[in-house]
Amino acid sequence: MIHNFNAGPSILPKEVFEEASRAILNFNETGLSILEFGHRTPMFESVVSEAMELVRELMQLDGNKEVMFLHGGASTQFFQVPMNFLSKDRKAAYLDGGVWGSKAIKEAKLFGDVEVVASSKDRNYSYLPTGYAIPENAAYFHYTTNNTIEGTQMGDIPSTPVPLIADMSSDVLSCGMDFNRFSFIYAGAQKNIGAAGVNLVVADKDFLATGNTAIPSMMDYRQHVANGSMLNTPPVFAIYVCLLTLRWLKKIGGIPAIEKINEQKANLLYTTLASLPMFNLPVPSQDRSKMNAVFTMHDPALEKLFLTRCKEEGMIGIKGHRSVGGFRVSMYNAMPLSSVVDITDLIKDFANKHA
Ligand SMILES: *Cc1c(COP(=O)(O)O)cnc(C)c1O
């Protein structure tokens, strides 16, 4: 058996893989593949509308929110957000809490002034900055809820005097929060929602109304809303996989149920690592991500042995990002507790043998 701890694209529920593969051959008993199915058909329109409704229900969105499924991955949102909401005579506030956030900052600078309110770059983003002030004249404040590469996750939603924007690519739908406090949320699907190739976007109607208009249609959120996320051919299959994953999440009890399991997984793994002197947890406990656990070994010579052992036991995708080193175990929604139990057993056994 393979346990896939990859940071993204990542594991999805087995039943989602099975149902998605059936739809490739015969979508909803139509005799046609989902890959050849017309997007402007009532049957596919109902795929999109059901997926949007499930997002509303699972995130408990208020009536002032629009839900979109857009092309391009989260990296497209890095520039699409400032293209819509920033201008040369305005500034936006950004938190520089990780590699992904720093990329968002780089892109925003193309469209206006960027004030970085705080940064943890001084220690390779291994902690989350605190005690910063957000300027009242900023067009918006942008941050990353979960820093996928460095393994840090924001506990509380920052309070801001300006519209709040978050990149939730790697922890959306994994834990409860008041999503209605955000003016704009985006998340690439391939970590917690579905297949690569689509972004989930949730935006406040009033905030959207303030956006720039002299931009290309495909970049203009309002045009996507007006066309029900079908301004052009949408990523049909990727959206369908999102629908299947959203149905699965609802069936198992929604965000409250998955949050409990996610806490069990993260607690088990971090407690085990903290109890073994061989391992080092670079992130302070209050900042640790429940989605991506990052750890290193005090003896680098053992790291290779550990990786080999993991591979032998079918534990894949745990090599740390090149900018951090060590290891990263990603435990997104679809990762079962049993797989985390298996890797912690392996970790304990390895520590025993090499102590
Ligand atoms: C993976 C990731 C991205 C990049 O997503 P793409 O879909 O590859 O563009 C951006 N932000 C965060 C937080 C991520 O985890």
The verdict on whether 191 is a catalytic residue reads yes
- Same domain? 339 vs 198: no
- Same domain? 40 vs 99: yes
Distant-in-sequence, close-in-space partners of 69: CB < 8 Å, separation ≥ 6: 48, 51, 52, 198, 199, 200, 201, 229, 234, 235, 239, 242
Given 224, 251, 278, which residue is the final one in a domain? 251
> Ligand 1 center to residue 353 CA distance, Å?
37
Ligand 1 within 6 A of CB of 148: yes
**Given the residues 96, 167, 171, 220, the one annotated as active site:** 167
pLDDT at 80: 98
How far is it, in rounded angstroms, from Cα 44 to Cα 34? Answer: 9
Instruction: Identify the residue whose C-alpha is closest to ligand 1 atom 8.
Output: 73
Give me the CATH number covering residue 262.
3.90.1150.10
Average of per-residue pLDDT across 334-349: 98
> Ligand 1 center to residue 166 CA distance, Å?
12
Within a domain: residue 7?
Answer: no
Mean pLDDT of all residues belonging to the chain = 97
pLDDT at 51: 98
What are the phi and psi torsion angles at 67 (to 5°)?
A: -115, 135
154 in Cβ contact with 126 (< 8 Å): no
- Same domain? 247 vs 258: no
pLDDT at 79: 98
Q: How many structural domains comprise the chain?
A: 2
Ligand 1 within 6 A of CB of 151: no
Residue 210 has pLDDT above 90, yes or no: yes
Ligand 1 within 6 A of CB of 8: yes
Residue 355 has pLDDT above 90, yes or no: no
Q: How many helices and strands (H and E) does the chain possess?
A: 10, 14
| Residue 218: count of CB within 10 angstroms of its CB | 14
- Same domain? 247 vs 340: no
- Same domain? 323 vs 178: no
- Same domain? 186 vs 260: no
- Same domain? 223 vs 286: no
Ligand 1 within 6 A of CB of 73: yes
Give me the CATH number covering residue 148.
3.40.640.10
Ligand 1 within 6 A of CB of 188: yes
Q: Which of 75, 77, 105, 191 to mutate to test the pocket of ligand 1 (most atoms within 8 A of CB)?
A: 75
Domain that holds residue 141: 14-251
Given 251, 280, 305, which residue is the final one in a domain? 251
In Å, what is the CA distance from 272 to each residue of 57, 226, 309, 323? 36, 50, 18, 24
Matching residue, tokens 């990786």? 307
Within a domain: residue 175?
Answer: yes
300-324 tens-digit pLDDT:
899 999 999 999 999 999 999 999 9
Within a domain: residue 1?
Answer: no
6-38 tens-digit pLDDT:
999 999 999 999 999 999 999 999 999 999 999
Given 207, 235, 251, which residue is the final one in a domain? 251
Taking Cα atoms as reference points, which of 82, 248, 263 lies closest to residue 171?
263
Residue 263 has pLDDT above 90, yes or no: yes
Residue 189 has pLDDT above 90, yes or no: yes
The verdict on whether 248 is a catalytic residue reads no
